[in-house]
Structure 1
Amino acid sequence: MSAQHALWHPFADMGAVDGDRMVITRGEGSYVWDDAGRRYFDATASLWYANFGHGRPEITEAVTKQLQKLDSYNLFGYNANEPAIELADRVAALAPTPGSKVFFGSGGGDVIDTAVKLARAYFAQTGRPEKTHVIGRTQGYHGTHGFGTAVGGIPANAAGVGPQPPEFSHVPFDSAPALEAEIARVGASRVAAFFCEPVIGAGGVLLPPDGYLEEVAAICRRHDVLFVADCVIAAWGRLGTWFGIDRWAVEPDMITTAKGITGGTIPLGALVVAPRVAEPFFTGAPGAPIFRHGATYAGHPVACAAGLATLDIYERDGLIPRGRELEKPLADAVSAAAGHELVAEVRAGLGFVAAVELTAEVMDADPGAPVKLQRACRDEGVIVRNLGRGVAVSPPLIAGEPELDLLASALPKALDRLAAQA
């Protein structure tokens, strides 16, 4: 084994990466620069999260002021800090269900695991401890923590790391009847929660069928199963609303969110908990239950200060609706790839996110084709994200016509490059 550096990248073939890193050194607006000085359109908003782009002085100022005042302190027990209190109140005020509570974590993976544990703890505290089973969806992605890996529906992410917890199962991502059938198979008396991304992100940018989200929410309510909306990617304007799920007329029992809550500037996650789920833990009665869970850096004052500045930016600059306003221009831009011989499908039109899927013939001939397409786009000055069968884009909400024109030009050229390598 040889390596130039000690850094081990997530989700990476390190034998291929080592010696071929793209080292990002600077970011400004919708663009980033590498260590050779080349500029790229950051068409993935880094990892679905740089929703207002890069280099915002407001974040720098807020973080600096907070570091000078209180650099860190935990939230355990009676402890609190002002930014955490204020951010929780502001996030709760935006939630679909009035009176919601907010439990902070260090990121999306943290709050997914928190949601699984809290769902089970809620039923235990309301006299139904047997309700522990959790249902996810095929192609769903819910992070890489223990429970998140189990509830996720991407088999490759759970391969080679030993057995997963037994009380998890999956249903087809686009079938509400399949969810009802699975609840019946397991037994409603045993099912605690159903996890659902409004738009599946890392699993392929898969859009929900018309009426799907309303139907699964009704099924969950009918069988007393908690509906957990995973909005780690979908929130903070990505789908044109504050949380993404609030684009539909549903009220989840819990909403997981992270990424855009600070624009990715500092790691922070937040679990938004509807009043009925939080109530058993907020009675104030002697001997009331304690939710014995929490991350060391939950509600970190510096992260929360960044979150407060982020919400200010979204509100002041009117960025939240842009996820909806820009969905057609983005769909038009990626449609430039639709007729290419290597392309099976282009998915777009719901929020500021899209995907280009390669044909089965391309994937059978070369399973590494998405990575090669990603690299070919990079050669054209655009950063895209490789997925299992293609590439995805999720640009910053500040991107405009010049950036989308660049994307529309780069995708066909990159596909031609890929075809030439076959």
Structure 2
Amino acid sequence: MATTKPTGDALWNPQAQMPTARAKRLVLTGGEGAWLTSSTGRRLLDATASLWHANIGHGRARLADVAYHQMRKLETYHTFGRFANEPALHLADRLAEIGPVPDAKVMLTSGGSDSVDLACKLARRHWQLEGRPEKTMILSRVGAYHGLHAYGTSVAGLQYNRDGYGTSSLVPETARVATNDIAAVRRSVAEIGPENIAAIIAEPVIGTGGVIGPAEGYLEGLQELCRSHDILFIADEVITGFGRTGKMFASHRWDIQPDMVTMAKGITSGYAPLGGVLVSPRISERFFEGADAPIFRHGLTYSGHATACAVALANLDVIDEEGLVEQAGRLETVLAKAVEPLRDHELVEEVRSGAGFMAGVHLHEGINGDAIAEACTDAGVLVRVIHDNTLQICPPFVTTEDEVELIADTITQALDAYQH
């Protein structure tokens, strides 16, 4: 059968101004390690780990082989009711073992937005079963990003992701609290009334909102606030989970024990769509004990997808065998040193680093961040602009020190060459 080159006219890109996206479309056709290849044959250094997730790098034949063999054996089967598959069972046990929630149960999803949706629903369901139906509010931080399902849109701390749907919150009873000021959060909780609050959800390091690390004592303060007021604490580790902060989970690094942890991205390093939620015994026990145990009426077609779970297990093996969590911790220091000189650049408002193997270069208002990112791409380094005119840096864990330096040097050269 004859094949033709796709026009791409039918593709509607997510989060895109489509006339611009179509006019400047960049088609990627291959990848190996920290590098990508475009349809024109150019090699591009992936400075963003795709969308924060390509932790073990691109082109791992080992993961492709695992997927192939699992598909030949059993591609998947649903896990509703009493059904399960071996990869899902093994993965759940492993996640419970390595996660920051003691004796956790694990619900598997298809990705980060699914995981946030599940956690927020489960938080509200928990309080209904506790006989405290007034506890429905979900609080989140200004600048936070928690995906774009209905709940993620509703708890977003980025106003432009909340606007345009005919209501202030797609799911009612949500509110934003201060990004890094724990005293201000305490005041907000007092004003709303802790008796009305089901949960507080927080990224340990805000990602899309500008790569913002936690102020000293902030996460610990959130945890203490939640415990003292009987509020569930949800750590959104979709970006930070599986090594990005030099620990398997950021909750380990900042010594917190949330009631739930959402995860995705690094669980498979993007080789298959998968996510999950670690759930503490405080919440899970009632669903596991007794003949009259309630049912949590939530599930996805691909919850516990056998092939995705097999890929996740192989990904975790690679991370362990190659010491990539420790490698990310070492590269955090390398990256912080590499971007340090950018703090003094006349076009730069702020450089944020030191809270994991990632950084944000916040450009002054009026500087065309998209033009800077495009100049970097033209020079062979893929970066992108996130919230508040910030250049995102979040490379794969397999990136070399020289490649980290190349990222910083390329951004510097793009800034130097920029003309208003």
TM-score by length of 1: 0.95
**Residue number among 356, 360, 363 corresponding to 1:358 in the alignment:** 363
**Residue number among 311, 314, 319 corresponding to 2:316 in the alignment:** 311
CA distance in 1, matches of 2:156, 2:162: 8
Amino acid at match of 1:195: I
Q: CA RMSD in A?
A: 1.2
Deviation of residue 97 (structure 1)?
2.7
**Residue number among 221, 224, 227 corresponding to 2:227 in the alignment:** 221
Report what 1:37 is aligned to: 41
Structure 1 residues 403-418: aligned runs within 5 Å: 403-417=403-417
Kindly indicate whether the alpha-carbon contact (under 8 Å) linking 1:334 and 1:411 is maintained by their aligned counterparts in 2. no
Local SS of the residue matching 1:320: helix
Local SS of the residue matching 2:261: strand
Give structure 1 regions of 4+ aligned residues with deviation exceeding 4 angstroms: none
**Residue number among 226, 251, 256 corresponding to 2:257 in the alignment:** 251
CA distance in 1, matches of 2:84, 2:174: 35
CA distance in 2, matches of 1:30, 1:256: 26
Report what 2:325 is aligned to: 320
Structure 1 residues 159-238: aligned runs within 5 Å: 159-163=163-167, 164=169, 165-238=171-244
CA distance in 1, matches of 2:28, 2:277: 31
Report what 2:29 is aligned to: 25
Kindly indicate whether the alpha-carbon contact (under 8 Å) linking 1:25 and 1:34 is maintained by their aligned counterparts in 2. yes
Deviation of residue 180 (structure 1)?
1.7
CA distance in 1, matches of 2:405, 2:100: 35
Deviation of residue 4 (structure 1)?
5.8
CA distance in 2, matches of 1:294, 1:372: 42
CA distance in 1, matches of 2:151, 2:101: 26
Q: Deviations over 1:121-163 (max 9, x none)?
A: 1111122122111100000000000011111100011111221
Report what 1:269 is aligned to: 275
Report what 1:87 is aligned to: 91
Deviation of residue 339 (structure 1)?
2.0
CA distance in 2, matches of 1:280, 1:173: 33
Report what 1:387 is aligned to: 386
Kindly indicate whether the alpha-carbon contact (under 8 Å) linking 1:336 and 1:408 is maintained by their aligned counterparts in 2. no
Q: Which runs of 5+ in 1 are unaligned?
A: 364-368
Local SS of the residue matching 2:19: helix
CA distance in 1, matches of 2:378, 2:339: 17
Q: Deviations over 1:332-357 (max 9, x none)?
A: 12224222211111111111000101
Q: Deviations over 1:347-397 (max 9, x none)?
A: 11111000101113x25xxxxx12111101101111112112121110001
CA distance in 1, matches of 2:87, 2:69: 12
Identity across aligned pairs (percent)? Answer: 45
Kindly indicate whether the alpha-carbon contact (under 8 Å) linking 2:235 and 2:261 is maintained by their aligned counterparts in 1. yes
* Most deviating of 136-145 and 398-407: 398-407
**Residue number among 279, 292, 295 corresponding to 1:290 in the alignment:** 295
Kindly indicate whether the alpha-carbon contact (under 8 Å) linking 1:370 and 1:387 is maintained by their aligned counterparts in 2. no
Report what 1:75 is aligned to: 79
CA distance in 2, matches of 1:114, 1:178: 28
CA distance in 2, matches of 1:184, 1:409: 47
Report what 1:372 is aligned to: 371
Local SS of the residue matching 1:63: helix
Deviation of residue 72 (structure 1)?
1.5
Report what 2:113 is aligned to: 109
Deviation of residue 80 (structure 1)?
0.3
Local SS of the residue matching 2:324: coil
Alignment pair present for 1:64 and 2:63: no
CA distance in 1, matches of 2:39, 2:339: 28
Kindly indicate whether the alpha-carbon contact (under 8 Å) linking 2:47 and 2:393 is maintained by their aligned counterparts in 1. yes
Q: Deviations over 1:176-195 (max 9, x none)?
A: 12222222112111100001
Local SS of the residue matching 1:130: coil
Q: Which runs of 5+ in 2 are unaligned?
A: 1-6
Change in Cα spacing, 1:311 to 1:4, as seen in structure 2 (3 Å) is closer
Local SS of the residue matching 2:362: strand
CA distance in 1, matches of 2:83, 2:410: 51
Report what 1:366 is aligned to: none
Q: How many residues align?
A: 411
Amino acid at match of 2:187: A
Kindly indicate whether the alpha-carbon contact (under 8 Å) linking 1:87 and 1:308 is maintained by their aligned counterparts in 2. yes
CA distance in 1, matches of 2:401, 2:329: 15
**Residue number among 129, 143, 168 corresponding to 2:133 in the alignment:** 129
CA distance in 2, matches of 1:86, 1:326: 31
Deviation of residue 58 (structure 1)?
1.4
Local SS of the residue matching 1:232: coil
Amino acid at match of 1:313: V
